[in-house]
Amino acid sequence: MVYEQEPFNAEPPRTALAERLRTPLDTFYCRNHGPVPVLTPAEWRLSVDGMVERPLELSLDQLRHRFEEAEVAATLQCAGNRRADLVEVRDIPGEAPWGPGVTSSATFRGVRLADVLAAAGLTPEAAHIAFVAPDIAPAADPPQPYGGSIPVSKALQPEVLLAWAMNDRPLPRIHGAPLRVVVPGWIGARSVKWLTRVTAQATPSDNYFQATAYRILPAEADPGQAGPAEGISLGPIALNCAILRPDDNTHLPAGPTGITGYALAGEERTVARVDVSADGGDSWVQADLDRAASPWLWQHWRTILDLPPGEVEVAARAWDSTGALMPASPADLWNPKGYANNSWARIRLTCS
């Protein structure tokens, strides 16, 4: 489903994500805040500057040859994933009503950000690593190039990559070629595409997408009036799950029916259990849950439910390896920009 052509924003139908550990490149969701920049790989350079002993300016060839190649299979998830369920609680003007499809998985290949930072030599005052790209986002206030940051503690983890390949193919332009950041376990917004600059600094990025957007404001706040540093800044993604098959709002024969979906725990946790209900959450059965192939990848699950005739609400909820459970109601989570909805997944079926 394409929400916008310019900037290009699209999510695959939920059923296209079902039972696949990696998402094909033509199916992977696209989230852009501005026009896709035209970068010539031969002229493109990455600057590494700020609180470093040796600022660097690296071509793609230098990156490939100076640093060891690394590969990480990771799920990217937009903070707006499942916003549609929040919109049903209360309207969220100006933000795409994403379903559960702004979540996709791929194998990324490139170099470790930690190795590049080691070559530059972080100074002791460096506490955050900021990323900047050349795409100008018109919706930012004021319009500015896209950027964000992560704390040094995350930036030095081996799973954080500067990637030029995705599913064994050159990184597609729409996904950030020639080089993007991949921050597994953190909201997609931090995985900056078309990366041109990495800056070590004492404070988080003051870019609009770090300082003002991607924050959970109190329900009563006016998002148009929110200034920098208001609300809860999103970093690690929240425990979440979705039902991928059958599709929402479909007509099915009553009787035993296969139900499948994904669950994702985020930052170093794994999904420990998924419960599925055919009566809107009054009673539950445990789904068959795939073992975590890596802490950075979603886990698929499946079960068979005996669906009664009539209107049926199927619900799913995940528990993580710390014993945390997803909250029941989107009404409790509603926030003015519609981020981080991890309430129980629900679909409505008509069975006959």
Residues that bind ligand MTE (CB under 6 A): 28-33, 76, 78, 133, 135, 146, 175, 188-189, 191-194
Nearer to ligand MTE, 146 or 319 (CB): 146
C-alpha span between 152 and 60 (Å, rounded)? 23
Nearer to Mo ion, 22 or 190 (CB): 190
Tell whether omega for the bond before 142 is within 30 degrees of 0, i.e. cis: yes
Contact, 266 vs 308, CB < 8 A? no
Locate 42 and state its tokens: 């031969």
Choosing from 70, 72, 78, 238, the residue that interacts with Mo ion (CB under 5 A) is 78
Count CA atoms closer than 13 A to 81's CA, side-chain side: 33
C-alpha span between 110 and 161 (Å, rounded)? 6
Shortest distance, CB of residue 10 to ligand MTE, whole angstroms? Answer: 9
Residues 6+ apart with CB under 8 A from 167: 22, 24, 25, 106, 107
Nearer to Mo ion, 146 or 319 (CB): 146
Residue numbers 172-201 binding Mo ion by CB under 5 A? 188-189
Shortest distance, CB of residue 175 to ligand MTE, whole angstroms? Answer: 4
Shortest distance, CB of residue 276 to ligand MTE, whole angstroms? Answer: 27
Nearer to ligand MTE, 148 or 246 (CB): 148
Q: Which does 56 bind (CB under 5 to 8 A by kind): ligand MTE, Mo ion, none?
A: none
Contact, 184 vs 191, CB < 8 A? no
Residue with tokens 């489903």: 1
Shortest distance, CB of residue 84 to ligand MTE, whole angstroms? Answer: 16
Shortest distance, CB of residue 162 to ligand MTE, whole angstroms? Answer: 13
Locate 131 and state its tokens: 């990323």
Nearer to ligand MTE, 164 or 319 (CB): 164
